[in-house]
């Protein structure tokens, strides 16, 4: 197939609009990443997108619009919550999932009754949609599984000869894909973090869930969640630990193989390793802008492994962290854990190891860990608890959790939240989560296991332990007391 290379000039956009109207496909620059666009209402045109990308057909596409008027043919309703965030963040890097109109083909929505819509800010994208007069379905324009393209060059590298045209719009400003929020259900759910942050969404929408469950055989909330993404040819591995530990680990690896490290300007040098900087540690926007290009450049350098430091999830960092985790397919080495002398505990066969899991590992699970260990100590039972979070970012335990535990005489001050790892699950005898969605999330990430149960389920009760996060001292006390009652029963059962 011949691929036309076009500029963003009006005369070229008219050519591109014509291709789209006739059912062809065109790579379009946007402020997030380049998208591979086709007429969202034309099933045949949409099928060709999947073919060109090699994308699984159950992974739905985002429908791009240039005006609010276009919505009426795409979504069956536009609730107040959607209006509120669209007014604030459109045009921009925000995709909203809503119930679809009958006429949106299932090819576009991957068979779902919901549809993803976004109004891009990029002038070229917006003008092209306007000129063609049709909503444009567009996934990121990479070959499926590769990092999304953020430069014209990336699009040529991946898609030359596979699409009808590519428009050169220069480098994408944001550099990671849009934030995806699902407003089709009872409660807003963040499916993919991006340039619009969870904090910004929560300000408008109130509480936003960030966990999605993907059980075997169940339709995931966002089908894209089941696929490994953004992966360069080299293996990506996240290193958790302080900078000295990271440096010495990387240098040891670099002594016998060609490795790369994604670094920040403030980092010390890594002897023997290739490094690419994501900018200053103070500037997450620079990091999103550079990330995918950095992953692709690492492949050009021919490294076999790419190490990346573990980063937090505040604001825009959540998007960077998410892309790195997904590029790594969850591979993380916890360097500080490697140093912990657990031997004495592990040698004692009778000792049971319990792992409590919640979302951020700053409220419920560290309280549960403290309560469990205190009860076992008092009753002389040889069992030990640890805790972790599904989205933990190294934050200290929340202030009210520390105070509530202090009232029990248990000190959890100074404890830093930790992300759950495969090794933690493996070494635990029993994994107890605070809610059903935590349990589902663990099963979707680490596979089904009889030892993963919700805390209530384990003691034969129903319901979740509600998240006290951000609540008053009394909310925390209530949470602590219900944990204490449940954990007392857990210890009885052991």
**Chain contacts with ligand TXA (rule: CB under 6 A):** 30, 32-33, 35, 59-62, 93, 95, 97, 109, 112, 114-116, 118, 138-140, 177-178, 180, 191-192, 221-224
Residues that bind Mg ion (rule: CB under 5 A) add up to a total of 1
> Can you tell me the distance from the alpha carbon of 469 to that of 16, in angstroms, rounded to the nearest whole number?
49
Q: Give me the residue whose beta carbon is nearest to Mg ion.
A: 140
> Can you tell me the distance from the alpha carbon of 206 to that of 194, in angstroms, rounded to the nearest whole number?
18
Tokens at residue 217, please?
């055989």
Which residue intervals of 94-197 are DSSP H helices? 106-109, 123-132, 152-159
Give the nearest distance from C-beta 141 to ligand TXA in angstroms: 7
Q: Which stretch binds Mg ion (CB under 5 A): 11-19, 87-95, 134-142, 242-250?
A: 134-142
Count of beta carbons in the 10 Å neighbourhood of residue 271: 10
Give the nearest distance from C-beta 24 to ligand TXA in angstroms: 17
Cβ atoms of residues 285 and 238 within 8 Å: no
> For residue 476, with 0-12 CB atoms within 10 Å meaning exposed, 13-18 middle and 19 or more buried, which class applies?
buried
> Can you tell me the distance from the alpha carbon of 51 to that of 57, in angstroms, rounded to the nearest whole number?
9
Comparing CA positions, the residue from 293, 63, 37, 15 lying closest to residue 141 is 37
Q: Which stretch binds Mg ion (CB under 5 A): 2-10, 139-147, 422-430, 475-483?
A: 139-147
Give the nearest distance from C-beta 294 to ligand TXA in angstroms: 18
Q: Using N-to-C axis directions, what is the helix angle for 198-205 and 80-89, rounded to 10°?
A: 130
Q: Which is nearer to Mg ion, 49 or 208 (CB)?
A: 49
> Can you tell me the distance from the alpha carbon of 27 to that of 194, in angstroms, rounded to the nearest whole number?
21
Q: Which stretch binds Mg ion (CB under 5 A): 132-140, 398-406, 416-424, 461-469?
A: 132-140
Distances (CA, A) of 249 to 308, 329, 336: 12, 20, 11
Q: Which stretch binds Mg ion (CB under 5 A): 58-66, 135-143, 269-277, 324-332?
A: 135-143
| Residue 432: its H or E element | strand 430-433
Give the nearest distance from C-beta 367 to Mg ion in angstroms: 38
Q: Which is nearer to ligand TXA, 131 or 358 (CB)?
A: 131
Please identify which residue in 140, 247, 275, 456 interacts with Mg ion, judged by CB under 5 A: 140
| The Cα angle at residue 25 between residues 16 and 23, in degrees rounded to 5 | 90
- Residue 59 binding: pick among ligand TXA, Mg ion, none (C-beta 5-8 Å cut-off by kind): ligand TXA
- Residue 373 binding: pick among ligand TXA, Mg ion, none (C-beta 5-8 Å cut-off by kind): none
| The Cα angle at residue 31 between residues 27 and 35, in degrees rounded to 5 | 25
For residue 430, what are the β-bridge partners? 354
> Can you tell me the distance from the alpha carbon of 119 to that of 64, in angstroms, rounded to the nearest whole number?
6
The answer to the question of residue 444 lying near Mg ion (CB under 5 A) is no
Q: Strands 114-118 and 62-64, how do they pair?
A: parallel
Give the nearest distance from C-beta 92 to Mg ion in angstroms: 18
Dihedral sign (CA 150, 151, 155, 158): negative
Give the nearest distance from C-beta 318 to ligand TXA in angstroms: 15
The answer to the question of residue 435 lying near Mg ion (CB under 5 A) is no
- Residue 261 binding: pick among Mg ion, ligand TXA, none (C-beta 5-8 Å cut-off by kind): none
Q: Which is nearer to ligand TXA, 95 or 286 (CB)?
A: 95
Q: Which is nearer to ligand TXA, 30 or 419 (CB)?
A: 30
| The Cα angle at residue 249 between residues 227 and 356, in degrees rounded to 5 | 55
Give the nearest distance from C-beta 220 to ligand TXA in angstroms: 8
> Can you tell me the distance from the alpha carbon of 39 to that of 138, in angstroms, rounded to the nearest whole number?
9
Give the nearest distance from C-beta 345 to ligand TXA in angstroms: 41
Q: Which is nearer to Mg ion, 56 or 73 (CB)?
A: 56
Cβ atoms of residues 393 and 428 within 8 Å: no
Give the nearest distance from C-beta 324 to ligand TXA in angstroms: 16
Q: Which stretch binds Mg ion (CB under 5 A): 93-101, 136-144, 361-369, 452-460?
A: 136-144
Cβ atoms of residues 108 and 46 within 8 Å: yes
Give the nearest distance from C-beta 22 to ligand TXA in angstroms: 21
Q: Give me the residue whose beta carbon is nearest to ligand TXA.
A: 224
Q: Which is nearer to ligand TXA, 50 or 391 (CB)?
A: 50
| Residue 238: its H or E element | strand 235-240
Give the nearest distance from C-beta 228 to ligand TXA in angstroms: 12
- Residue 61 binding: pick among Mg ion, ligand TXA, none (C-beta 5-8 Å cut-off by kind): ligand TXA
Q: Strands 35-39 and 136-137, how do they pair?
A: antiparallel
Q: Which is nearer to Mg ion, 290 or 305 (CB)?
A: 290
The binding site for Mg ion (CB under 5 A) comprises 140
């Amino acid at each position: 197939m011949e691929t036309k290379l076009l500029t963003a000039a009006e005369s070229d956009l008219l050519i591109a609009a014509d291709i789209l109207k006739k059912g062809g496909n065109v790579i379009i620059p946007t402020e997030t990443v380049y998208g591979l666009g086709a007429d969202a209402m034309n099933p045949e045109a949409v099928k060709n997108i999947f073919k060109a990308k090699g994308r699984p057909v159950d992974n739905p596409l985002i429908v791009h619009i240039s005006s609010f008027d276009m919505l009426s043919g795409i979504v069956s309703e536009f609730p107040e919550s959607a209006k509120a965030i669209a007014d604030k963040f459109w045009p921009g890097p925000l995709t909203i999932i809503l119930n679809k109109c009958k006429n949106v083909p299932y090819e576009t929505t991957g068979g779902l009754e919901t549809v993803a819509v976004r109004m891009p800010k990029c002038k070229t994208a917006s003008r092209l949609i306007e000129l063609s007069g049709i909503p444009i379905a567009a996934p990121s324009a990479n070959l499926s599984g590769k990092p999304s393209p953020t430069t014209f060059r990336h699009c040529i590298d991946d898609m030359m000869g596979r699409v009808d045209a590519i428009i050169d719009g220069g480098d994408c400003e944001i550099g990671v894909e849009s934030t995806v929020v699902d407003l089709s259900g009872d409660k807003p759910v963040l499916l993919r973090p991006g340039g619009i942050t969870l904090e910004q969404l929560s300000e408008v929408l109130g509480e936003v869930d960030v966990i999605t469950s993907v059980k075997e055989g169940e339709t995931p909330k966002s089908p894209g969640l089941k696929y490994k993404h953004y992966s360069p040819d080299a293996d990506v591995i996240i290193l958790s630990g302080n900078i000295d530990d990271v440096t010495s680990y990387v240098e040891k690896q670099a002594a016998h193989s060609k490795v790369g490290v994604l670094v920040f300007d403030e980092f010390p040098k890594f002897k023997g390793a290739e490094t690419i900087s994501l900018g200053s540690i103070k500037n997450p926007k620079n990091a999103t802008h550079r990330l995918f290009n950095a992953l692709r450049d690492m492949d050009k350098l021919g490294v076999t492994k790419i190490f990346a430091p573990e980063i937090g999830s505040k604001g825009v960092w959540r998007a960077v962290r998410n892309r790195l985790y997904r590029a790594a397919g969850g591979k993380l080495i916890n360097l500080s854990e490697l140093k912990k002398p657990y031997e004495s505990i592990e040698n004692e066969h009778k000792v049971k190891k319990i792992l409590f899991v919640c979302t951020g590992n700053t409220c419920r699970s560290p309280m549960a860990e403290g309560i469990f260990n205190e009860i076992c100590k008092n009753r002389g039972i040889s069992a030990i608890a640890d805790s972790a979070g599904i989205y933990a970012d190294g934050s200290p335990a929340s202030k009210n959790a520390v105070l509530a535990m202090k009232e029990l005489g248990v000190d959890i001050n100074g404890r830093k939240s930790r992300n759950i790892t495969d090794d933690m699950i493996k070494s635990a005898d029993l994994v107890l989560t605070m809610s059903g969605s935590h349990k589902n999330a663990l099963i979707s990430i680490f596979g089904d296991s009889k030892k993963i149960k919700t805390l209530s389920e384990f003691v034969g009760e129903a319901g979740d332990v509600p998240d006290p996060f951000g609540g008053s001292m009394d909310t925390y006390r209530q949470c602590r007391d219900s944990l204490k009652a449940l954990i007392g029963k857990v210890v009885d059962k052991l």
